Amino acid sequence: MTGKIITISRQFGSGGRTIGKLTARQLGLECYDSEIIAEIAKKSGFDQNYIKENSEDTAETGLFAALSGLDFYGHSNRDEIWTMQCRVIRELAEKGPCVIVGRCADYVLKEDFDLLKVFIYADMEARARRIVEQYGESDEHPEKRLRDKDKRRAAYYEVYTDQKFGDFENYDLCLCSSSIGIDKCAKIIREVYQM
């Protein structure tokens, strides 16, 4: 499988980003995550925070979001960011083997690139602990925020990809980081990649 691009989709708080970085380092590959946002900002002129708010974990879903900020042709800024994001992801993939975390890269690249598609998830308790301890979020009702984030991420993914977020059929490998551990997840991905 060596030579493929590894895409890592992940539940918020599952440690997917850390696993992606670890895997990339051990394989000597580039890992793209926030770099994608920076590149979209450069290309589009949008502010990085605005891009973050209007991609992946976008706060608004549904009709309101769909209709807000439409241009003359009925495109929203969110659509514009999506188009830009697809272009950036393709450009990065064309440079060669790498690890791409999130941003629907599994869907964007699936027709034209050889992929190892990974999904990382974890149980609610572990995710809540992680966002409080590692991401420095408030310890008031972290589960509620996670459920909300899950909904937004799934909605975004489903609107732009017409696939279901977290549906096993979209991935080669789905790993529960709270059962298996961060390091071991990276090791398994590496092993499958090096087959």
Which residues would be at the binding site for a second copy (CB under 8 A)? Answer: 116, 119, 121, 123, 166, 168-169, 171-176, 179-181, 184, 187-188, 191-192, 195
Instruction: Give me 187's structure tokens.
Output: 């090791």
Q: 19 with 185: CB under 8 angstroms?
A: yes
DSSP state of 121: E
> Which CB sits closer to a second copy, 87 or 190?
190
Question: Minimum CB separation from a second copy for residue 111, in Å?
Answer: 15
Question: Minimum CB separation from a second copy for residue 123, in Å?
Answer: 8
Question: Minimum CB separation from a second copy for residue 127, in Å?
Answer: 11
Question: Minimum CB separation from a second copy for residue 141, in Å?
Answer: 20
- Cα-Cα-Cα-Cα dihedral sign, residues 162, 163, 165, 171: negative
Cβ burial, residue 187 (10 Å; 0-12/13-18/19+) = middle
Question: Minimum CB separation from a second copy for residue 116, in Å?
Answer: 8
Question: Minimum CB separation from a second copy for residue 73, in Å?
Answer: 37
> Which CB sits closer to a second copy, 82 or 165?
165
* 142-161 helix and 124-133 helix, angle to the nearest 10 degrees: 100
Q: 18 with 33: CB under 8 angstroms?
A: no
> Which CB sits closer to a second copy, 9 or 85?
9
> Which CB sits closer to a second copy, 29 or 188?
188
> Which CB sits closer to a second copy, 139 or 191?
191
Through-space distance between the first and last CA atoms of the chain, rounded to whole angstroms: 6
Instruction: Give me 53's structure tokens.
Output: 């708010």
Residue reference for tokens 């087959």: 195
> Which CB sits closer to a second copy, 88 or 189?
189
- Give the type of residue at 103: R
Cα(77)–Cα(54) distance, rounded to whole angstroms? 8
